[in-house]
Amino acid sequence: MKKVWLEEFARDFIAFGSIPFLILTIVRVSVLPVYYPMQFIISSVLFFILKAIFKADLRAGIGFILLTFVSLFYSNALFTVFAALVYAGIIISLFYLKRERRQILKGILLGGISTGIGYVIVRLLFF
């Protein structure tokens, strides 16, 4: 019984790195200047392209993009710590659910690369 509960909790946790959560976040930040949602959109599109080429874990990459840009959006240290803990929970849950380790690590790496490139592109276009 305990194992079933833990697996269900882990699956719920990785939902924070899902496409519906990404869309929800983009809609949330769309009420402000255009460059906020563009950070998410450009980075996500780039991640999806890289993911298709290198076979990385979706939730590890999208979670990293969300962690970074939501933390920048709110500019609050306490929220950043909370978001980092949620992202750590996503990664731990992926390992607990026995997802392929190499794909998780590639997801983190490609999420970081996509985030960096997306950030730079938005800065070049809007500032």
In the chain, where the domains are located: 2-126
Whether residue 84 contacts residue 66, with contact meaning beta carbons closer than 8 Å, is answered with no
pLDDT on residue 1: 63
pLDDT on residue 57: 95
Cβ count within 10 A of residue 117: 15
pTM: 0.91
- pLDDT tens track of the chain, all 127 residues? 667 888 888 888 888 888 889 998 999 888 877 788 999 999 999 999 999 999 999 999 999 999 999 999 999 999 999 999 999 999 999 999 999 999 999 999 999 999 999 999 999 998 8
**How buried is residue 120: exposed, middle or buried, by Cβ count under 10 Å (0-12/13-18/19+)?**
exposed
For the chain, the farthest-separated pair of C-alpha atoms sits apart, in whole angstroms, at 54
